Structure 1
Amino acid sequence: MAGAAAVWPVVTTGPGVGLPCPLRALAGVPCPFCGLTTAAIALVRGGAGAAFTANPLIFGLAALAVAVGPLVALRAFGVIGEPRPWPAPRRRRWGRLAVLVAAASWLFQLHRLGVGRPSLRII
């Protein structure tokens, strides 16, 4: 994911391949992850403000992508062992946190795109 975000701006000037968000196409509302491609490319190009405006969730995902690379390498070379399954309470806590983060991201997207606001029409 991090590699693709770094290479994409080099080979193109656009943010994505133009595939519409299925939820937005069907229901007219953005999903919690709308704007992530644009945010990733903005972040790679050094536009932290533009990345935040598109989807602030990108900062957590970018940190995760950066952390996973060395972790996978350390596991591949046997420096650290295989991961152990988390106990059920911990999985539930992290699952609830993921739901809360997705809900917050969705509210941000709804606000950013003005969904639910009355449109002003001047006659």
Structure 2
Amino acid sequence: MRKQLSVPERIGALGAGIAVAAAFWPMFTTSTGLGAPCLLRTFTGVPCPACGLTTAAVELVHGHVVASAAANPAILGVAAVTAVTVPLLLLRQVGVVGAPVPWSGRARSRMGWVMLVAAAMSWAFQLHRLGFS
């Protein structure tokens, strides 16, 4: 039976996948000439809240924290959640830590609002960074 992951654990697992992809992204783009354009920015000229995350992830994986934060500081939050949850996931896999306690509806609602505010702040940062303020 597959173990249920909590929301932070899912974000951490996603962050681990992002870190692996970011480690190989420069080699891929150099050898193929392909990139990952932001669709919203491509079609409207307006950056999305996630603009710069690929650059930020690549910079962070290569140890350039300041450059990473300059591209999109949201990656630092993803990295922090990843740093906490990946060891937790490993401990759960070997049976040291039990299953997560499900969040209440109220806690899920609060987290939804926190994520909405974080996305709005990220979008405001990108709009300012790219001269839309």
What TM-score, normalized to structure 1? 0.82
Larger relative contact order (C-alpha < 8 A, sep ≥ 6)? 2
Structure 2 unaligned blocks of 5 or more:
1-17
Matched, 1:86 2:103: yes
In structure 1, the partner of 2:116 is 99
What TM-score, normalized to structure 2? 0.76
Greater alpha carbon shift after TM alignment, 67-76 vs 90-99:
67-76
RMSD: 1.9
CA offsets per residue over residues 43-97 of structure 1, 9 Å max, x none? 1222222111100111111112222211111111111111232001111111100
Superposed structure 1 runs of 4+ greater than 6 Å apart: none
Structure 1 unaligned blocks of 5 or more:
117-123
1:25 to 31, 39, 42: 42
Q: Give the fraction of aligned pairs with identical amino acids, expressed as a percent.
A: 53
1:67 to 80, 84, 87: 84
Matched, 1:38 2:41: no
Task: Return the offset for 1:4.
Answer: 2.5
Maintained 8 Å contact 1:2/1:66: no
State the structure with more CA Rg.
1
